[in-house]
Amino acid sequence: MNRKYLVLILFVVQLYTVDAQTLITGTFNVRLETPRDTGNLWKDRKVYVANLVRFHGFDLFGTQEGFKNQLDDIQQQLPEYERYGIGRDDGQLKGEHSAIFYKKDRFVLLKSGDFWLSETPEKPGFGWDARINRICSWVQLKEKKSGKTFYCFNVHYDHQAMVARRESSKLLLAKIKLIAGDAPVLLTGDFNGNHTTEWYQLIANSGTLRDTYKEVKHPYVNNGTFQNFGRNYTTGDIIDHIFVTRHFSVKRWGVLTDSYNGKFPSDHFPVLAEVQLGK
């Protein structure tokens, strides 16, 4: 074969391979560290949280509820990841985080930021009918191999306040448009709402973001995502979601029901979605 054509073929094959790479994304409420969780203390769970992440090979994943020491524990066990996120109580280290982990050998961090789910999103505080601070953290990442860039937003909605959850979706959509524009976006989080809730539907029907669950023919749904350390098996509600913009196609989606010795790494099951940037 003519050497010139061989080089051209190899280049096309390599270009297609780079373009066809997928991202394994996830959302994982790791459950805050509290002495009330007798039998499911963080010191006993943390190794299984890390084992789950490592085995399923997440390229990036959003976490909810983790305190700084918990996030440090995860990163210590998984040094191949870098993370971004600040504490919701003071905008620094205090309180729960909505942190984003990403593989540092695959991605470069270009930008990052945060906003609170309130009428004053630029500073710590709770909004509407909520009585707890809630935060959204975001990053812009560049994939080293392909040079492609995208945004990832990670959020945790209030667990009780009805108005706050609805208004949080409106704020989130506005902030994504302001920060990311028409760029590719992944949105992960614990939305404390299933597919029937108004705040979920505001996002899923926005025309901007699509639920990855609905983009696959056979979603892997053996359970809902909140099981309260095994005490809440009666509901199949999915309240932890992964959304994407039109720039992504979705290969597979599933609720990960991993266990250890009859116990679970968290009171939530994590969700995995394998996506491809650029169809």
CATH architecture of 24-277: 4-Layer Sandwich (3.60)
Q: What is the pLDDT of residue 13?
A: 40
Average pLDDT, the chain: 93
* Torsion sign across C-alpha atoms 118, 119, 125, 129: negative
Q: What is the pLDDT of residue 1?
A: 54
Give the tens place of pLDDT for each residue, 148-191: 999 999 999 999 999 999 999 999 999 999 999 999 999 999 99
Residue 107 tokens read as 């991605």
Q: Do residues 260 and 48 make contact, with C-beta atoms less than 8 angstroms apart?
A: yes
Q: What is the pLDDT of residue 21?
A: 84
pLDDT at 17 over 80: no
Other beta carbons within 10 Å of 194: 16
Q: Are strands 240-244 and 22-29 parallel, antiparallel or unpaired?
A: unpaired
Give the tens place of pLDDT for each residue, 229-270: 999 876 789 999 999 999 999 999 999 999 999 999 999 999
Q: Do residues 174 and 206 make contact, with C-beta atoms less than 8 angstroms apart?
A: no
Q: Do residues 169 and 6 make contact, with C-beta atoms less than 8 angstroms apart?
A: no
Average pLDDT of the residues in 5-23: 52
pLDDT bin (cut points 50, 70, 90) of residue 10 is very low
Q: What is the pTM of this model?
A: 0.93
